[in-house]
């Protein structure tokens, strides 16, 4: 049994460089940015310098050719400062561009991916609609063929990076009669689009990560901007879901770690009843639980990432072990992260209720991970479905 839970020297170097950048560049801005709910405009140019943008992309697209373990580690490390901005990077680079890389033509990839690596292009992905959330296949956005174009009508909600993105990948019904078999994936450059309106959504958490309501009114998209072929949208969508769920675990892991670190520090400094509060066993119990939950979450996430990296196609989907592992990793990381966030607030007492403390932001951001990328309920449904499939044989 080969069990080695240590990161390689290369992975540790990645972690160190991202952490130094996050603490030096991002941390000093965070309180203000959170207050005004703004993404730092240079974010993607900065992450380009760190080699994060094309972290799994092939060299020909400007990528670094690392794996999903490294991607998760990069997202965890950004999230030690900002869970929300780690998600913003992930929404662009993993949800939008990595899935584009898996499914687009070589010509499309050469046109788009190098600019995503340099930070010139920011991406967003639109699946969710006002009336199609967990039941994503019931989406109602329509793409009607007229000559050599598709005319798009409908709307997408909760789209991370929608208000700042350049490239928008999304799903629409091209053959509504066929249900899930009549869905296609598209991309377009938002700067070229007429008829698209973007409204920024106000949120109490994940502030700094811009979220949009995107409305299409007769938006024209050239027919060659289909991704993966006509009516192949479900295959495109599912090819990236597992890597999305796994790498986004990094967002919650970073918050978990920061909450534990801040709580340990605060508990040792804060004196009540003549002693540091860390000397009280009720506080010690919380710290011990936070540690166990973080370590277990970390194992769930990185073991799923390492398993994914070991697969030739690095892809999951219905009927695969990766599907179960990815859903389980995000379910566990999300729920434990929310508990850790609550414990961190509790340890900080009244100060934990004030916006100047980093734990407050981490707690507010963290709650998203019981909802986004498929809710906790949906993840449980996936895990149970995969456990109950007839040929389920491995992975316990």
Ligand X SMILES: Cc1cc2nc3c(=O)[nH]c(=O)nc-3n(C[C@H](O)[C@H](O)[C@H](O)COP(=O)(O)OP(=O)(O)OC[C@H]3O[C@@H](n4cnc5c(N)ncnc54)[C@H](O)[C@@H]3O)c2cc1C
**Start-to-end CA span in the chain (Å):** 14
In whole angstroms, what is the distance from residue 338 CA to residue 221 CA? 41
CA distances from 296 to 257, 286, 291, 318 (A): 12, 15, 9, 25
Please confirm, yes or no, whether 144 is among the known catalytic residues. no
Instruction: Report the nearest approach of ligand X to the CB of residue 150 (Å).
Output: 19
Q: Which of 91, 253, 267, 359 binds ligand X (CB under 6 A)?
A: 91
Instruction: Report the nearest approach of ligand X to the CB of residue 88 (Å).
Output: 9
For the chain, how big is the Rg over CA atoms in Å?
A: 21
Query: Which structure tokens are listed for 173?
Result: 């019904």
Q: Which of 172, 372, 382, 386 binds ligand X (CB under 6 A)?
A: 372
Instruction: Report the nearest approach of ligand X to the CB of residue 205 (Å).
Output: 7
Q: How many Cβ atoms are within 10 Å of 20's Cβ, its own excluded?
A: 12
User: Would you count residue 331 as binding ligand X (CB under 6 A)?
Assistant: no
By beta-carbon proximity to ligand X, the closer residue of 203 and 339 is: 203
With H, G, I as helix, E, B as strand and everything else as coil, classify residue 347. Answer: helix
Phi-psi region of 373 (alpha: psi -120 to 50; beta: other; left: phi over 0): left
Alpha-carbon torsion angle 239, 180, 249, 367, nearest 10 = 170
Instruction: Report the nearest approach of ligand X to the CB of residue 137 (Å).
Output: 12
Scanning 1-9, 111-119, 152-160, 243-251 for contacts with ligand X by CB under 6 A, the matching segment is 152-160
Residues 376-395 that bind ligand X (CB under 6 A): 377-378
User: Would you count residue 211 as binding ligand X (CB under 6 A)?
Assistant: yes
Strands 226-227 and 196-200: unpaired
Question: Which one, of 44, 22, 67, 95, lies nearest residue 248 by Cα?
Answer: 95
Residues 115-134 that bind ligand X (CB under 6 A): 125-128, 133-134
User: Would you count residue 137 as binding ligand X (CB under 6 A)?
Assistant: no
By beta-carbon proximity to ligand X, the closer residue of 264 and 371 is: 371
By beta-carbon proximity to ligand X, the closer residue of 134 and 313 is: 134
Q: Which of 64, 93, 160, 243 binds ligand X (CB under 6 A)?
A: 160
Query: Which structure tokens are listed for 97?
Result: 């561009």
In whole angstroms, what is the distance from residue 367 CA to residue 231 CA? 34
Instruction: Report the nearest approach of ligand X to the CB of residue 243 (Å).
Output: 15
User: Would you count residue 367 as binding ligand X (CB under 6 A)?
Assistant: no
By beta-carbon proximity to ligand X, the closer residue of 67 and 126 is: 126
Q: Which of 137, 306, 371, 383 binds ligand X (CB under 6 A)?
A: 371
By beta-carbon proximity to ligand X, the closer residue of 58 and 377 is: 377
* DSSP string computed for 29-88: HHHHHHHHT---TTHHHHHHHTT-TTTTS-GGGT-----HHHHHHHHHHHHTT-HHHHHH
Scanning 37-45, 107-115, 153-161, 357-365 for contacts with ligand X by CB under 6 A, the matching segment is 153-161
Query: Which structure tokens are listed for 166?
Result: 């350049």
Instruction: Report the nearest approach of ligand X to the CB of residue 135 (Å).
Output: 6
Position with the least CB separation from ligand X = 133
Active site residue: 70, 76, 244, 262, which one?
Answer: 244
User: Which chain residues interact with ligand X by CB under 6 A?
Assistant: 91, 125-128, 133-134, 158-160, 203, 206, 211, 368, 371-375, 377-378
Instruction: Indicate which residues carry an active-site annotation.
Output: 244
């Amino acid at each position: 049994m080969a069990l080695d839970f240590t990161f390689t020297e290369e992975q540790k170097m990645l972690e160190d460089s991202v952490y130094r950048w996050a603490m030096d560049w991002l941390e000093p801005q965070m309180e203000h940015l959170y207050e005004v709910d703004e993404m730092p405009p240079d974010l993607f140019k900065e992450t380009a310098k760190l080699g994060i943008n094309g972290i799994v992309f092939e060299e020909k697209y400007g990528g670094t050719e690392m794996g999903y373990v490294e991607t998760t580690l990069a997202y965890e490390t950004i999230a030690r400062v900002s869970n929300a901005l780690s998600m913003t990077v992930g929404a662009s680079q993993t949800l939008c561009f990595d899935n584009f890389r898996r499914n687009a033509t070589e010509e499309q990839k050469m046109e788009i991916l190098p600019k995503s690596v340099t930070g010139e292009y920011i991406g967003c992905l639109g699946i969710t609609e006002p009336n199609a959330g967990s039941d994503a296949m019931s989406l109602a956005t329509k793409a009607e063929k007229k000559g050599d174009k598709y005319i798009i009508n409908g709307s997408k909600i909760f789209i991370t990076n929608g208000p700042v993105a350049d490239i928008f990948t999304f799903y629409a019904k091209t053959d509504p009669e066929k249900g899930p078999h009549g869905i296609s994936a598209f991309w377009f450059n938002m700067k070229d689009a007429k008829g698209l309106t973007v409204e920024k959504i106000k949120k109490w958490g994940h502030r700094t990560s811009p979220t949009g309501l995107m409305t299409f009114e007769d938006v024209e998209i050239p027919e060659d901007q289909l991704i993966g072929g006509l009516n192949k949208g479900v295959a495109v969508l599912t090819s990236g879901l597992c890597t999305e769920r796994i790498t986004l675990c990094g967002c919650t892991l970073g918050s978990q770690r920061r909450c534990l670190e801040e709580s340990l520090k605060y508990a040792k400094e804060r004196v009540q009843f003549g002693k540091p509060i860390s000397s009280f066993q009720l506080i010690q119990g919380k710290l011990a639980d936070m540690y166990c939950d973080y370590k277990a979450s970390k194992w769930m996430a990185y073991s799923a990432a390492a398993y994914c990296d070991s697969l030739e196609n690095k892809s999951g989907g219905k009927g695969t072990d990766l599907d179960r592992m990815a859903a389980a990793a995000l379910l566990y990381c999300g729920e434990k992260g929310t508990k850790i966030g609550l414990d961190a607030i509790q340890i900080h007492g009244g100060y934990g209720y004030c916006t100047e403390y980093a734990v407050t932001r981490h707690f507010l951001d963290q709650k998203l991970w019981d909802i986004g990328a498929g809710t906790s309920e949906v993840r449980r449904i996936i895990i149970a479905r995969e456990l109950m499939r007839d040929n389920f044989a491995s992975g316990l």
